[in-house]
Structure 1
Amino acid sequence: MFTGIIEEMGTVEKLWIGSSYRLRIRAKKVLPGTKPSHSIAVDGVCLTATEVDRESFSVEIMAQTLNKTNLSLMKEGDKVNLERATSLSSLLGGHIVTGDVDGVGRISRIDKRVGETVMQIEFLPRLAKYIVNQGRVSLDGVSLTVADCRASNFTVHLIPFTLNNTTLGLKKRGNL
């Protein structure tokens, strides 16, 4: 389980598409103490580290995961949000995030304002029963509060810290 508090942005260093889909991700903060078999959330998706060295870690991604997430769109050089699994003694600064993805949304609007950015996300109708005003969502692994929820979209308000320290600051209208 995770908290949705991103530890760092990593960089997709290498990807392999063959009998399986594999990524090698360059990172710093999530590597100390991480060993093969440990869980790391990559853009909110719980993945198992298969190899770990001083500068990067590798993961394998199943077809089912690729079909339910936006990980199949990754390219070398892309930034990703990273978080190690939480422990019972850790602070729970965000909300409990399982790393199991329910669906992919699309950014339909980004409004930059003084001190905040408002992002509107369109989602599939089947997800409507899970999204409520003042409820919690995880976008690319980032724990956020739903500011306003409608039948097919919701909005979140992002502070500059979140934009500067997660991949949400790199997003554009139309991104998944």
Structure 2
Amino acid sequence: MFTGIVEEVGEIVDVRASGEVVVLTVRGPVVSSDARHGDSIAVNGCCLTVVEPDGGETFRLELVPETLKRTSLSGAATGGRVNLERALQAGGRFGGHIVQGHVDGVATLLERSPGERSDEVRFSLPAELAKYVVEKGSITVDGVSLTVAATDGDTFTVALIPTTLADTTLGLRKPGDPVNLEVDVLAKYVEKLTAGYVGGPRKDGAQ
């Protein structure tokens, strides 16, 4: 589990295909410092498994077809910058919200409105995710825990503070760029648990 508090911005230093799998080598001195084989690291909000730490500043990850199909990492290229977060330690500070690292969909940055020190950024919102996104609710964008400032059903807007602009890749994103989205998992569980009581479909077909 993660919190959506990015620890560092890493750099993709190598991308190579190995059959149907794409192997990424990522440089990230902070998250590499104690990385071990089998550890989980969120890369742009996608939970991936370390398959080969080098004991230095880099580590390798494998992207299977499912990951390539469902996340923006299908466009990973050498030199690309990525948000990195290690899995939450028991007893650690919970600064963001519950983030699984399971990407729900890919959105597009539509518009950014720079302020004096902060930006407002508007993203597209896939139709199947719209019901889980509410004003002042939590959403994860490329692994960053953010608060929804506004939503109109097919788009949503967030406000980025100076620290987020400086310490994550969201300060670099331009209109047209794809981003990974993860909605609040609590909303999905509430929907399923209450479906049989508020007029939603039940798995057994009963009303």
Cα offsets for 1:40-97 (capped at 9, x unmatched): 0000000000011212000001111111100011110000000000022110001111
Structure 2 gap segments, 5+ residues each: 179-207
Give the whole-Å Cα distance in 1 for the aligned partners of 2:154 and 2:66: 24
Pair 1:130-2:132 in alignment: yes
Pair 1:57-2:59 in alignment: yes
Question: For residue 28 of structure 2, what is the aligned residue in structure 1?
Answer: 27
8 Å CA contact retained: 2:133, 2:139: yes
Q: Name the SS of the counterpart of 1:147 in structure 2.
A: strand
Name the aligned partner's letter for residue 85 of structure 2: E
Name the aligned partner's letter for residue 3 of structure 1: T
- What is the percentage of aligned positions where both structures have the same residue? 43
Offset, 1:18: 3.0
Which residue of 157, 173, 176 maps to 1:174? 176
Give the whole-Å Cα distance in 1 for the aligned partners of 2:107 and 2:15: 24
Question: For residue 108 of structure 1, what is the aligned residue in structure 2?
Answer: 110
Q: Name the SS of the counterpart of 1:162 in structure 2.
A: helix
Question: For residue 160 of structure 1, what is the aligned residue in structure 2?
Answer: 162
Name the aligned partner's letter for residue 112 of structure 1: P
Give the whole-Å Cα distance in 1 for the aligned partners of 2:172 and 2:79: 13
After superposition, residues 72-91 of structure 1 pair within 5 angstroms as 72-91=74-93
The aligned length equals: 176
Cα offsets for 1:80-126 (capped at 9, x unmatched): 00000002211000111100000011111100012210000102111
> RMSD over aligned Cα, in angstroms?
0.7
Q: Name the SS of the counterpart of 2:140 in structure 1.
A: strand
Which residue of 58, 65, 68 maps to 1:66? 68
8 Å CA contact retained: 2:137, 2:147: yes
Question: For residue 147 of structure 1, what is the aligned residue in structure 2?
Answer: 149
Large movers: runs of 4+ above 6 Å: none
Give the whole-Å Cα distance in 2 for the aligned partners of 1:34 and 1:22: 17
Name the aligned partner's letter for residue 35 of structure 2: T
Question: For residue 119 of structure 1, what is the aligned residue in structure 2?
Answer: 121
Name the aligned partner's letter for residue 75 of structure 1: A
More helix by share: 2
Q: Name the SS of the counterpart of 2:41 in structure 1.
A: strand
Give the whole-Å Cα distance in 2 for the aligned partners of 1:157 and 1:114: 13
Give the whole-Å Cα distance in 2 for the aligned partners of 1:72 and 1:86: 26
8 Å CA contact retained: 2:33, 2:57: no
8 Å CA contact retained: 2:41, 2:85: yes
Question: For residue 13 of structure 2, what is the aligned residue in structure 1?
Answer: 13
Pair 1:93-2:95 in alignment: yes
Of the structure 1 ranges 26-35 and 4-13, higher mean CA displacement relative to structure 2 is found in: 26-35
Give the whole-Å Cα distance in 2 for the aligned partners of 1:70 and 1:123: 15
Offset, 1:171: 0.3
Question: For residue 39 of structure 1, what is the aligned residue in structure 2?
Answer: 40
